Amino acid sequence: MLKPDREDILEIDSGFENLMHIGLVANNIKVGVIGAGKASLIKTKTFLKAGCEVEVLSPRFDIGFRRLRCECLKLKKGKFHKSFLNDKHIIVIGVSNKKLEKRIIWHCKRLNKLYLVCSDYKLGNLRLGAQERTDEFVFSLSINRGNPKLSKYLTPKVLNFLQTFAMFCKWATDLREKLKHHPQKDQILEFVCSDDFYYFFKKGYANKVIKLFYEDV
């Protein structure tokens, strides 16, 4: 019997909750928010800022929601019904009634929805990290054991570090687009995305070094 190659054996990350960040194409994502409390308002603003389409369902809305002005926002007055979940990719559960909360979670699980529970993030299968974006970067930061204020504090520090690579990021991404149909694309990008090449980039020799090794670029 053949033994599997060690390199083919996947080792599962045993970290807390196995957090995994994904990048959503926000303008293709529909979000349903159930409840119109403070936590729901914060999550609604986050998704709207990213470009998601958001529909909020609640028997009543406070001034914070009524002040929001966005073409991607719809406020729906009423009580929860499972049909509200049907056309949504992500559900934010922000209700104070624990019995209703459990019922919504049950429906979300049954329909395989991504859902976030405002009362306790451990009850959901989705967490929102602190996020930041620039012309060159988009990133999200979460603390494994849950600490939103710390994530928010650290995010600008991470951004400051990333910004030192902004010019290199733009140059390398422009190069990648230029190499779209080049037969050695992967090899060249592997060469460029390295500490050694970044050293020459900082010295102003990036284009010369590329031409030295790859004349047809």
Homologous superfamily of domain range 20-128: NAD(P)-binding Rossmann-like Domain (3.40.50.720)
Residue 182 pLDDT more than 60?
yes
CA distance 131 to 61: 26
For residue 36, the model assigns a pLDDT of 95
- The residue ranges of every structural domain in the chain are 20-128, 166-213
The verdict on pTM exceeding 0.75 is yes
Cα atoms in the 13 Å half-sphere on the side-chain side of 3: 3
Contact between 88 and 32 (Cβ < 8 Å): yes
Residue 12 pLDDT more than 70?
no
Angle at which helices 185-192 and 206-213 cross, to 10°: 140
CA distance 33 to 57: 6
The secondary structure of residue 130, as a DSSP letter, is: E
Distance (Å) of CA 157 to CA 29, 127, 142, 162, 165? 29, 21, 14, 9, 14
Each as own residue / partner, the long-range contacts of residues 146-151 (CB below 8 Å, 24 or more positions apart, any chain) are 146/121, 146/122
Strands 90-93 and 114-117, sheet pairing: parallel
CA distance 53 to 174: 31
pLDDT digits (tens, 9 = 90+) for 190-203: 999 999 999 999 99
Contact between 19 and 37 (Cβ < 8 Å): no
Grouping H, G, I as helix, E, B as strand and the rest as coil, residue 133 is: strand
Sign of CA dihedral 105, 109, 113, 115: positive
CA distance 180 to 192: 15
For residue 7, the model assigns a pLDDT of 57
**Residue 179: pLDDT band with limits 50, 70, 90:** very high
Contact between 5 and 134 (Cβ < 8 Å): no
Distance (Å) of CA 214 to CA 171, 178, 203? 16, 13, 19
Q: Enter the tokens of residue 12.
A: 């599962």
Please state which of the ranges 8-12, 19-23, 108-112, 141-145 shows the lowest mean pLDDT: 8-12
The secondary structure of residue 38, as a DSSP letter, is: H
If you average pLDDT over residues 65-71, what whole number do you get? 91
Sole residue written with tokens 């119109």: 36
